[in-house]
Amino acid sequence: MTPHLFVGPWGARFAGRRFPCAVGRGGIGAKRSEGDGVTPAGAHRLEALLYRPDRAIGRAGARALRGGRAIGPRDGWSDDPADPAYNTAVSLPRAACHERLRRADPMYDLVGVLDWNRHPVVPGRGSAIFLHLWRRPRRPTAGCVAFRGADLVWILARWTPRSRVIVTGR
């Protein structure tokens, strides 16, 4: 049986365990636009794993999933709907609006890139929807799903290519 990560306003469930998590400040639902703070409802694939090789939780996540791509000092993610590279990984510096992936805080030490608005990319529909580490327990995100570091590593260690992130408002 393929384990799926179920996420709702109550938290998350994966492989028979429950986890506290944080979702977008706009709640869970139909994502309408860039910056709305909504975590998009639906079934999402984990497309890629990014990690900080200089931080313990990043290395643990890379080992858990047996791979991934190291986040370097020039790595970013475009969140500018006018940018031809919108909702993709980009190299910094960059004139267009973007998120820096290599941060001083641990939030992006371990990142699972979800397939939201990726194939095809629709400018303005929302970008950078990730699984990542939370800032504080249950503190809302900009639309991502965030976990305690040890919990995200545990989930990724049991992830399969057929697993999905299933986000529901119920």
pLDDT digits (tens, 9 = 90+) for 131-168: 999 998 889 999 999 999 999 999 999 999 999 999 99
Q: What is the pLDDT of residue 66?
A: 78
97 counts as catalytic:
no
Give the pLDDT confidence of 111-127 residue by residue, as tens digits.
999 999 999 999 999 99
Class assignment of domain 5-167? mainly beta
Give yes or no: 144 in active site.
yes
Residue 33 is encoded by which pair of tokens?
């636009």
**What is the predicted pLDDT for the residue at 84?**
97
Mean pLDDT (whole number) for 20-41:
96
169 pLDDT tier (thresholds 50, 70, 90): confident
pLDDT at residue 170 above 80? no
Residue with tokens 């590593």: 153
Confidence of residue 89 (pLDDT cuts 50, 70, 90): very high
- Please enumerate in sequence order all residues whose Cβ is within 8 A of that of 57, keeping only pairs 6 or more positions apart, or say none: 106, 109, 110, 133, 149, 153
| Single pTM value for the model | 0.95
pLDDT at 162: 96
Please say whether the beta carbons of 6 and 13 come within 8 A. yes
Q: Is the pLDDT of residue 1 over 90?
A: no
| Three-state secondary-structure class, residue 29 | strand
- If DSSP codes are grouped into helix, strand and coil, which group holds residue 85? coil
Q: pLDDT band at 10, cuts 50/70/90?
A: very high
Render pLDDT for 31-78 as a digit per residue (tens, 0 to 9): 989 999 999 999 999 999 999 999 998 888 888 877 899 999 999 999
